């Protein structure tokens, strides 16, 4: 006799929370990498050059800027992605217990 197909073992809330933390960290790093990429692109466009770079050089510089932006977001100590991650982390912790997520704490400008 064939037993019915089940959906598989259910993940524990701790595993779900860890997966959500990992997704949040990756999203924060991607966000910072995107911002850094735009910053590097703008900085490179503002350089006065004796002659315009050819297409190959532009592609190489773009790839280098993108790689640098990604690495900075992953390994930068006190980086924007780290700050953003710690700012949003309480929302995940509250959500995994079944409670409604709280609004993120507001940041007031310092005088």
pLDDT in tens, 28-67: 999 999 999 999 999 988 988 888 888 999 999 999 999 9
Cβ–Cβ < 8 Å for 35, 68: no
pLDDT of 30 reads: 93
Q: Please give the share of the chain, as a percent, with pLDDT higher than 70.
A: 73
Cβ–Cβ < 8 Å for 58, 64: no
Start-to-end CA span in the chain (Å): 74
pLDDT of 16 reads: 86
pLDDT of 99 reads: 47
Cβ–Cβ < 8 Å for 7, 36: no
CA neighbor of 94 nearest in space, from 34, 29, 13: 13
Mean pLDDT of the chain: 81
Q: Please give the share of the chain, as a percent, with pLDDT higher than 90.
A: 41
Q: Which two tokens stand for residue 1?
A: 């006799």
pLDDT of 29 reads: 92
The CA distance from 4 to 110, in Å, is: 61
- Report the pLDDT averaged over residues 104-109: 62
């Amino acid at each position: 006799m064939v037993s019915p197909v089940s959906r598989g073992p259910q993940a524990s809330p701790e595993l779900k929370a860890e997966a959500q933390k990992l997704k949040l960290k990756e999203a924060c790093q991607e966000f910072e990498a995107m911002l850094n990429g735009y910053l590097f692109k703008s900085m490179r466009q503002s350089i006065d050059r004796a002659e315009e770079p050819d297409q190959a050089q532009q592609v190489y510089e773009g790839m280098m800027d993108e790689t640098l932006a990604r690495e900075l977001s992953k390994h930068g100590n006190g980086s924007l992605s780290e700050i953003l991650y710690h700012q949003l982390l309480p929302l995940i912790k509250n959500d995994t217990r079944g409670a409604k997520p709280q609004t993120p704490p507001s940041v007031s400008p310092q005088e």
